[in-house]
Amino acid sequence: MKKYRKSKLHALDEIDKGLIKELQIDARQSYLSLGKKIGASEGTIRNRINSQLKGDVIQLKAVINPSKIGYDFSCVIGLEINIDKLRETAELLAKNPNVCLLVGCTGVFDLIAMLIFPNTSYFEKFMGETIAKLPGIKRTQTFVIMSQIKTPWSDNLDIFELRKT
């Protein structure tokens, strides 16, 4: 389980911001094309991308829209867990492919997970065969997602607006 820690800040200048915005639109663009749009040389673009990849500022990968591949049931589960079993439970849950987000948190729940399934039958099986067998579970609460308003596959993080806050 990864712990939250303050990471080294990477200062983003206008070239970096423009580059990130363009990569969010289409990460397959050539360095030359990106350079022309942003107003920087091909070499500068290559170096900036490599630096941001190495510094874990960005990742270039495909993001799947689960509903487009038949995963039409999604939910969020809050889990209250005995503190001595928290790490073990989190590690077991993190290995499950249906878990697309897992975070430790404060408040009523110790872990919150976002899950995706093809339908409610798969979810029911998951609850009985996975959640019920996790060590240290005190209580769970499930929130069925009825509509998706903002998702990683439909909305990009606006780096220009984010840096204003």
pLDDT tens-digit series, residues 48-97: 999 999 998 899 988 888 888 999 999 999 999 999 999 999 999 999 99
Q: How many residues would you count in the chain?
A: 165
Q: Tell me, what DSSP letter sits at residue 27?
A: T
Q: Give the Cα separation of 9 and 35 in Å (integer).
A: 24
Domain that holds residue 40: 14-62
Of the pLDDT bands very low, low, confident and very high (cuts 50, 70, 90), residue 164 is: low
pTM of the model: 0.78
Chain centroid to Cα 6, Å, comes to 18
Contact in structure between 126 and 138 (CB atoms under 8 Å) = no
Q: Give the Cα separation of 89 and 84 in Å (integer).
A: 10
Q: Which of 81, 79, 73 is nearest to 148 (CA)?
A: 73
In CATH, what number is assigned to the domain containing residue 36?
A: 1.10.10.10
Residues 58, 70 within the same domain? no
Query: Is 98 domain-assigned?
Result: yes
Share of the chain above pLDDT 90, in %: 71
Residues 36, 98 within the same domain? no
Residues 21, 50 within the same domain? yes
Q: What is the pLDDT of residue 61?
A: 86
Q: Give the Cα separation of 164 and 82 in Å (integer).
A: 40
Q: Give the Cα separation of 78 and 101 in Å (integer).
A: 12
